[in-house]
Structure 1
Amino acid sequence: MIVSADYSFFDSVIRSFDKAARFTSWDPGILEQIKACNSIYSMKFPVRIGENIEVIEAYRVQHSHHKSPCKGGIRFSMEVNQDEVMALAALMTYKCAIVNVPFGGAKGGIKIDPKKYTAFELEKITRRYTSELIKKNFIGPGTDVPAPDYGTGAREMAWILDTYVAMHPGEVDAAGCVTGKPVSQGGVRGRTEATGMGVFFGIREVCNMVDVMSKLGLTTGVEGKTVVVQGLGNVGYHSAKYFREGGAKVIAIAEWEGAIYNADGLNEEEVFQHRKTNGTILNFPGGTNLPLTSDALELDCDILIPAALENVINGQNAPRIKAKIIGEAANGPLTPEADEILSLKGTLVVPDMYLNAGGVTVSYFEWLKNLSHVRYGRLEKRFTENMNKHIIGQMEDLTGKTVDPKEKTFIEHGADEIDLVHSGLEETMVTATREIMDVWKANPEIPDMRTAAYVCAINKVATSYAELGIFP
C-alpha cells in the first residue's frame, strides 16, 4: 500500500516518528533502535490448490523486542507486501506502549484474496503458514502472539492454535500462542466489540475535557453531539452503537455504495438489517441518500469517525471537512497532507495509533486468561453477589424500606467476564487519553495529538530500552 507518490507507508510512519522525536531528549542511537524493525521474515511456500500447486507469499515482522512477546495481527489481502507489514508492526509497538500493554509490536500477512479460496484451502494455507512461523520461532506464548486482522477472524486463529498445539505437545500455556480465538478455544468474551467500544471510550474522554472542548467551541460530554460514521463493518457498527447509546446522534452512515443521512439520528442496527436484506444502506426508510460515500465525510457534524479504509481524507478533501473532532477508528484514514491542513484549521484529530487499540487491549486480556487458566469472574462473581445481597438486605431491615427490584438486581450483580473486560478496556482508554493530553499540555510546541501520542510512545519504549541496560 502506497501512502503517497513520494514515500511508502513505512516511510510515513518514520516521518511521524521523526516529527515527534524532536520533542524528546533521548540519545539518537536509542531513537534509531526504536525505529528499526528487529526481525523480518519473508517466506514463500507451496500449497496444493485443486489440481495445481500455488506458491504463497507471506510475511511476519517483529518490530520491537523491548517487551516480550511481540504482538500483532495477521491479514489476508492481495495488498500485503513487506513495506506494509513493517509499517503496521511499527505502529503496533507504539500502540501497545501508549495503552500500557506489555508487548513489542509485530504484524503478519499472507498475499492472497481469501474470497477466491474455499474454507478447506484457506485452512491449508493458514496451517502451512503457522508451521513456517514455528520453524523459525516466530510464534509462541512468550515469543510472538498473532491475532486477527483484515481478512481473518476467529476461525483462522483456531486453525493456528490447533497447528501450534499439535507441534508442541504438552506445552501447558499453548493456548496463549494466538488471540482472537473462539471462546470455546480459550478466547475471551468482549473481543468482537472491543475496537468500536475503545473508540467510544477514547472520544468520550476527550469530550469530557473542559479545556479541549472550550477550544473547539463545543459543550462538554458526548451527549447531543452529532456523529458521522464511515463504514458499517465491525468497528463502525459498534462505534455507532456506543455513541448512540451514549446520547450522541449518528446523523449519517457511509458505506462503499453510498451514504444515508438523517438529522434526527440513525439506528445502526436498523441500518445493518436493511443492508442485510437489500444489499445496500441506500433507500433506508427515513434516511436521505447521498450518492457518494465521500459526501458523508464533508457533512457538518461535531465528530467524524472514519472506520473503514486508509487515506479517505487527503489533501484534496481535507479543506472541506467540517467536523470539529475526527476519531481515526480505521488504520491510516488520514494522509500526512490532510493532517497538516486539519491542524491549521484547528480540527482535533484523535489518532488511530491509540484510538483503535481496543482490539489489542482485549487480546492482552485473552492472553492473560490463557496463562492463568481461569475464566475472568469465576472466583469472585458469586462472592460479590452474595455480599451485595447481604448489604441490601441489611439496609432494607434497618430502614424498613424496599429497594426497587430493577435497582436491586443491578446492585446485586457480580461481575462476570464480559463486565471485567469492558471495565478493563474503559480504564485503558481513559488512562491513555489522559497521558497523551498531559504530554501535549506539558509542551505547547507539539503541534497535534498524533505527535503527542508518538512522543508518549517514544518515551515509554526508550525508557524500557534504557532500563534493560542495552545502552550503557
Structure 2
Amino acid sequence: MSTTNYSFFGAVEQSFDKAAAFTKWDKGILEQIKQCNSVYQMRFPVKMDDGSIEVIEAYRVQHSQHKSPCKGGIRFSEEVNQDEVMALASLMTYKCAIVNVPFGGAKGGIKINPRNHTAYELEKITRRYTSELVKKNFIGPGIDVPAPDYGTGEREMAWIVDTYASLRPGEIDAAGCVTGKPITQGGVRGRREATGLGVFYGIREVCNMPEVMSKLGLTTGVEGKRVVVQGIGNVGYHTAKFFRENGAKIIAISEHDGAVFNPEGLHEDELIEFRKKTGSIVNFPGATTITNTTDALELDCDILIPAALENVINGDNAPRIKAKIIGEAANGPLTPDADEVFAAKGVLVVPDMFLNAGGVTVSYFEWLKNLSHVRYGRLEKRFTENLNTNILGQMEFLSGKKVKKEHRDIITHGPDEVDLVYSGLEETMITAVNEVMDCWKQNPSIPDMRTAAYVVAINKVATSYVELGIFP
C-alpha cells in the first residue's frame, strides 16, 4: 500500500466500480460521478521567521458540484499530494450523499509539517492559501466550504474566515465560508465531539437490529458489549466515552507506543490524566500493558473501533481479528484484502465513508447557523421550557402529586444549541445506517456493507445529475 505505484484515488475508483455493477446507471453517468470536476494545484512563496523564502505546495480539489457548495477539510501534512486530495474529495461526495447532507465533495491540502513551523508562519501560510482560493473563486459560502482535517483545527479556520471576510467586504454570509470555527467566530457547539458521537450512534443503531445481531451471535443493544478502541485522540476518546456512558465495557485502548487491557473496563478520562502525567498510556494502574500495540486489535471482543491510522488491518492480521463488529472511525483503517477476509468470516464492517460522517454533518449545521445568523435554540428554548412547566404544573394539580426536582429539570428543559446538534446528528446517523442496510437487504448479492454504502451514494448522486437535466 505504501509503494510508489499505489494510487489512493485509484483504490477509491476500484471500490466505486465494484459497487457500480449493482446499479442501473448508464456508463457515462457513472464516469461523470467518478471523476473530479476541478483540481487546483498551487505554489506560493511565504517568508519564514528567519527571513528565508519557502515555496509552499498546496491543493484544492472539487470532486462534484451536483450539490452546492462543495465541502471538505484542509489538511496540513508532508504526505499531501494530488492523488490523495482527489481521493479524499471523492470520498466526501459519497459521504455527504449517504448522510443526506446537501454538499458536493471537496478536499484541500498544504504540503507542510505544521510541527516545523511557528504559529506566525502557519498563520501566514494559511492566510496566503485562503487568498489564493479567493482569487480563483474556490472558496465561499455558496461555492466551496473548507473545514478542519489532519493537522488543522479551530485556530486555522479562524484565520481562514478572517482572511475571506477581509477580501470580500460587505458579504453578509462570510462566516459560512468555512466550518469548524471557534464558537466566538460563528462555530457551533458539539462540533469537537461530533465524529466520535456519530460513530457511537451508527454502531448503536446496528446493535439495535435483532436480525443483524442474531447472525453475529450477539445480543441486541450496546450494553455489556466488550469494546476495543485503537487510538485515544479526539475521535477515539469521544467514541470510548459515549460507549462507556451507555453501558459498554472499554476493555482495551491502544496508542502508538503500546496498549492497556482490563477485562472489567477502562475509563478514558483516567487514562488521559495518566498520559498527561507520564507521557504515555503504558503501565496504566490496574491494567495489563500490551507492548506490541497492534496485538490489541486481535483481542477477544465484540466491537473493534480503529480510530487512528490508515491500513492497520490488512490481509495478514485480519484472520486473527476476533471482533464481530468493526466500526471504522478512522479513514481507511482496513485494506481491500481485509474486507474480503471479514466478508468470508461473517464479520460486519461498518465503513468509514458514513460512520465517521459526524464531523461533516455537524459542519452542515454550523453552515446553516451562519446563513441564518441565529444561534440554535435561541428562538424556542424559553417557549419550550415555559410550555413544559405549565403542562407539568397541570399534571401535578390534577394528580395531587409532586414530581421530584431531578425529574422536573429533565421534563421542563428547553433545548440548547448542543442538544439540537446532538439530536440532528442522531437522526442523521440512524437514517444513514438504515438506508445502507435496506439497500443491502434488497440486493443480497452485494458482498459487504461498504459496497452497499457506495451503491447508496452512487444512486443519490446519479439521481441528482439526472434531475438537474445534465443527462437529458
TM class by shorter chain equals over 0.9
Partner of 2:175: 175
CA distance in 1, matches of 2:2, 2:207: 30
Q: Is contact 1:3–1:311 with CA below 8 Å preserved after alignment?
A: no
Give the TM-score normalised by structure 1: 0.99
Which one-letter code corresponds to 1:211 in the other structure?
Answer: E
2:71 is matched with 71
Q: Could you tell me how far apart the structure 2 residues matched to 1:373 and 1:67 are? A: 22
Question: Aligned partners of 1:231, 1:462: CA distance in 2, in Å?
Answer: 36
The alignment partner of 2:280 has SS state of coil
In 2, Cα distance between the equivalents of 1:8 and 1:203? Answer: 30
Residues 167-201 of structure 1 show CA distances to partners (whole Å, capped at 9, x for unaligned) of 00000000000000000000000000000000000
Q: Distance in 2 between matches of 1:197 and 1:252?
A: 19
1:332 match: 332
Match of 1:35 in 2: 34
SS in 2 for 1:160: helix
| Distance in structure 2 (CA, Å) of the matches to 1:302 and 1:12 | 29
Q: How does 1:451-470 map to 2 (within 5 A)?
A: 451-470=451-470
Q: Which residue of 2 aligns with 1:276?
A: 276
The match for 2:21 is 22
Could you say which residue in structure 2 is the equivalent of 1:149?
149
Question: What percent of counterpart residues are identical?
Answer: 77
User: Is contact 1:306–1:329 with CA below 8 Å preserved after alignment?
Assistant: yes
Q: 2 CA distance for matches of 1:255 and 1:179?
A: 29
Can you give the 5+ residue segments of structure 2 that lack an aligned partner in the other structure? none
User: CA shift at 1:471, angstroms?
Assistant: 0.4
In structure 1, the residue corresponding to 2:14 is in which secondary structure? helix
State the SS of the aligned residue for 1:23.
coil
Q: CA deviation at 1:3?
A: 5.5
Letter of the 1:29 counterpart: G
Residues 112-159 of structure 1 show CA distances to partners (whole Å, capped at 9, x for unaligned) of: 000011100000000000000001000000000000000000000000
Q: Which residue of 2 aligns with 1:93?
A: 93
Contact 1:3–1:9 (8 Å) recurs in 2: no
More deviation, 358-367/395-404: 395-404
Matched-pair contact (CA < 8 Å) for 1:298–1:322: yes
> Which amino acid letter does the alignment assign opposite residue 261 of structure 2?
Y
1:279 deviation in Å?
0.2
Kindly provide the CA deviation profile for residues 55-95 of structure 1, in whole angstroms up to 9, marking residues without a partner as x: 00000000001000000000000010000000000000000
State the partner residue of 2:361: 361
What's the Cα RMSD here? 0.7
- Name the structure 1 match of 2:112: 112
CA shift for structure 1 position 404: 1.0
User: What is the DSSP-based 3-state SS (H/G/I as helix, E as strand, rest coil) of the residue aligned with 2:64?
Assistant: coil
Q: Does 1:184 align with 2:184?
A: yes
Matching residue of 1:82: 82
- Misfit runs of 4+, over 4 Å: 2-6
Secondary structure in 1 aligned to 2:90?
helix
Could you say which residue in structure 2 is the equivalent of 1:398? Answer: 398
Tell me, in whole angstroms, the C-alpha distance in 2 between the residues paired with 1:318 and 1:272. Answer: 29
Structure 1 residue 237 and structure 2 residue 262: aligned? no
Sort the Cα spacing of 1:87 and 1:443 in 2 relative to 1 into closer, same or farther, 3 A.
same
CA contact (8 A) 1:437 1:452 kept: yes
Count of matched residue positions in the alignment of Structure 1 and Structure 2:
471
Amino acid at match of 1:20: A
CA distance in 1, matches of 2:435, 2:102: 16
Matching residue of 2:407: 407
The superposition leaves residues 388-417 of structure 1 with CA deviations (integer Å, 9 ceiling, x where unpaired) of 110111111111100011000110000010
Question: Any idea what SS the aligned residue of 1:102 has?
Answer: coil
How far apart are residue 51 of structure 1 and its match? Answer: 1.6
- 2:293 aligned residue: 293
Deviation at 1:7, TM superposition (A): 3.5
CA distance in 2, matches of 1:215, 1:12: 30
Matched, 1:423 2:423: yes
Instruction: Give the SS at the match of 2:30.
Output: helix
Q: CA, structure 1 residues 5+218, in 2 after alignment: closer, same or farther (shift >3 Å)?
A: farther
SS of residue paired to 2:120: helix
Partner of 1:128: 128
Tell me how far apart the structure 2 counterparts of residues 3 and 216 of structure 1 sit (CA, whole Å).
Answer: 33
1:258 and 2:275 are equivalent in the alignment: no
State the Cα distance separating 1:6 from its structure 2 match: 5.6
